[in-house]
Amino acid sequence: MLIGNIIKKLREYKGLTQEELGSKLNLSRTTISMYENNQRDPDTKTLSLMADLFGVSSDYLLGKPFSNSELEEMEALKRALKRAGYMDEDEDDLTDEEFNRLIGFIKANKNFIKEGK
């Protein structure tokens, strides 16, 4: 998947408009549009800011496969989800996109979970 497609999916998942994302990154809506249409690539600083904002790695934004530690983390999480009854034992594995949405949700709600609210 191309970086622009990934940025667009993550932006939409966060419920942000191109203008809102641009504001958070100190960029214009036009620049965000160019990224999403694969007409321009973000520089390394912007890539890092996006990764932090979306709760993903810069490698994920670049469409690179998971590292070994991320694969191990994914397998451990799947086992935990199955033990907790959120996935059936015979259920197919989560797709990369489903796993990343789940990780993003967990990261976004970490403080909420810790505080027990």
Structure tokens at 74: 């994914």
Helix, strand or coil, per DSSP, at residue 91: coil
> What is residue 59's predicted lDDT score, i.e. its pLDDT?
84
Can you list the domains of the chain with their CATH numbers? 3-61 (1.10.260.40), 68-115 (no CATH)
More confident residue, 89 or 13: 13
Name the pTM for this structure. Answer: 0.59
* Each residue's pLDDT tens digit, 33-69: 999 999 999 999 999 999 999 988 888 888 876 666 7
| Per-residue pLDDT tens digits for 3-40 | 999 999 999 988 999 999 999 999 999 999 999 999 99
Long-range (24+ apart) CB contacts under 8 A made by 34-41 are 35/3, 35/4, 35/7, 36/4, 36/5, 36/7, 36/8, 36/11, 37/4, 38/2, 38/3, 38/4, 38/5, 39/4, 41/3
